Amino acid sequence: MLSNLSGRMLACCIFVTGFVLLQPDTVNAQAEGQLSEKPIAIFYARDMSEKRMFAYAMSLSERMNFAESFRHDIAESVDVEETQPPAQDEIDGYLIYLVSGPIPNVASLTFCNIVDTAAVIRGFEADFKKEGGDSGVVRELGNDCFVVERTSQHTRPLPENADEAKIVGNGRAATSNGLTITTHEVKTTIEEKDGKRVIVHTTTRRSFHRVYDQFLYEGESEKLFDMTLPSAADISAGLSESNDLGFCVYLDRVPQPVRQLGWTMLASGIGSQLQQYDGETDTAHDMRRASGDLALAIGNAALFDIDFSDGSLTFATEDVPSIDGELRIRARNNSGLSDKLQRAVGSSRFAPILHDNAAVTGHTCVRFPEESSKALTATSDWLKESFATVFHDLPALISVGDVFSETLLGMAEHRNLELLFKVGWTEESAGVVYGGVQLHDSPQLLPGIFQLMVHVMSQLMAHPQAATGNDQMIEMIQDGDMEFIRILLPDDAAHGITESWGAHITHIYLAHQNSCLWFAMGGENAKEIIRLSVARCNESNATRTPFVSARIDMERWLAWPQDDPTGIAQMPHWLDANAWWFPPNPLLLLQGIDEMDRKPQAIMQRAFDLGGSQQFSLTLEADESGLLLQTSLGEALANHLLARVIDMGDDPEPARSGSPE
């Protein structure tokens, strides 16, 4: 059972975050306009009750033998042994409806499958008893419809000489864009308590519920009682039995006038920003205008050529020890988007090394549409003009601007954007961070970059506060048959990297080979990884690859020699014991990380010892039907992610009985 639940807590948190970001404002559910006959989107989850999530988190903490105070706090605040979910195979989620009006809007309904109406009402009444007994009431309306009212009060002293007539009254329902807020009302009275007159604010909040075909629907308006609801079969038709989390978005149900309104707003908004500013040169304006036209072309295709999108997550099992996800964006048959997607697959020069022995690989390769040539050409002209203006008294640097401009013109011809990032280890290079970008076969590009870097460094060295002894920090060197720019990091910069990442980076190398600009960061021999990679890439011609791909193999990374002089092989262990953000967590990126008064616990190895895959992979591909994003997160990595979240909320020395919290 625990293996089946692996990663559920983490994935639930991520999915719920998405729900919060995507869910329409609850006010919008009070639609005075006409709701669409069918939902335009369904978001759903299977067997994802809060109690089950906490049970798994507590089990993980216990198996890893850490965060005892977390387990203690959860045991006191959450009844994980409470009754099972109301349905054996629980399904719950949101339905999103389009609302007609002067400005189209959306309304949401929540749903979950249940055993029967009586059980649901008993559950609400049990909640009221826990909250004090008189905090709420269920008003049954017949036909499996009912309203839940929750009431709360707070009081404050009546000021002296107050005008009581202006204080007493009932709150009015607010309206916005034809939508009426009817879910709550506020009543203000003046009463006498303990011999003193006080102001009493009574707030009543309502939610509207209806049971239909073994599903409980909840909305924010009485419209729920009369609207046509999807049957269990209708909901199940859009859900895959193998998925634990998922969504379906039916963009073909959005009327054409609504799409046209969206396009008009987008085009007018971007168009107004593309007007030439006072004092703006024609070259700079041409660059902005070409970029804006490209954005409009992409926006038009997205609004009119996408008909359907769906996504899913499937959790780890004993047979498949990873969390697998998929997102599909389907283009309309014979649409312009289908043709553009097929022509957008780039020609990769890094393809031969995408599956080398690196532990981390990130890669993107896209061929921009023909409209991008104008943007790149305009940018080339702007860059050439800017160098001529800024370095008007330095002919050598003006020539560098010409080289950079020529490179952009070459990119305008092939229109390929390709980026590569890797973390690897070889006997020749030791630990190294390396990669590159596909540019253009420009022989003077590397010398031009060197000249610009030397100029910038000379300006820095001329500053009164500049450190001495750095005159040899940047050099152009010849090593065998390859030319490199070698950058020696100053001691303070190298120390800063060590303090932040645990790695001992002392050298950075740049090289221009095979129409690509390469980089390598590590020790003195880091350049050897460029030599090896260039040799492998030269063995085969450019080929097609996915738009985006990423891969992390922690098992391979941790197998590297732990005495690696660059410290890159030891980085995961160092980060695990020193960096709260490791491993990167989407929730922490959204929430932010406050200053912690202690270091994180080293928990990675304990999570990995529980078993499961230690790999992560992601690919984004295109074909005539649209875009397909596929991802897989190993169970061991998911456990590590969740364990770090638990660690952040844990207190290794919690206050116990005898001292107030």
Rounded CA-CA distance 409/376 in Å is 7
- Pick the range with the lowest mean pLDDT from 67-76, 285-294, 543-552: 285-294
pLDDT at 27: 34
pLDDT at 80: 53
* Mean pLDDT, range 462-476, rounded to an integer: 65
Rounded CA-CA distance 612/610 in Å is 7
- Pick the range with the lowest mean pLDDT from 185-189, 440-444, 467-471: 467-471
* Mean pLDDT, range 183-210, rounded to an integer: 85
pLDDT at 168: 81
84-125: pLDDT as tens digits: 445 557 888 999 998 877 778 888 899 998 888 888 888 888
Compute the half-sphere exposure of residue 291: CA atoms within 13 Å on the CB side of its CA: 13
Token duo for residue 581: 């953000």
User: DSSP class of residue 124?
Assistant: H
Q: What's the mean per-residue pLDDT of the chain?
A: 83
pLDDT at residue 423 tops 90: yes
pLDDT at 242: 73
pLDDT band of residue 10 (cuts 50, 70, 90) is very low
User: DSSP class of residue 654?
Assistant: -
Rounded CA-CA distance 218/583 in Å is 37
Q: Are 285 and 374 in contact (CB under 8 A)?
A: no
pLDDT at residue 455 tops 50: yes
Token duo for residue 400: 């560098």
Task: Please enumerate in sequence order all residues whose Cβ is within 8 A of that of 541, keeping only pairs 6 or more positions apart, or say none.
Answer: none
* Mean pLDDT, range 57-77, rounded to an integer: 86
Task: Please enumerate in sequence order all residues whose Cβ is within 8 A of that of 152, keeping only pairs 6 or more positions apart, or say none.
Answer: 135, 202, 203, 205
Token duo for residue 188: 């203000």
pLDDT at residue 34 tops 80: no
pLDDT band of residue 21 (cuts 50, 70, 90) is very low
Give the orientation angle of helix 8-22 with respect to helix 50-64, to 10 degrees: 140
Quote the percentage of the chain above a pLDDT of 70: 85
Tell me which residue of 496, 499, 489 sits closest to 467, measured CA to CA: 489
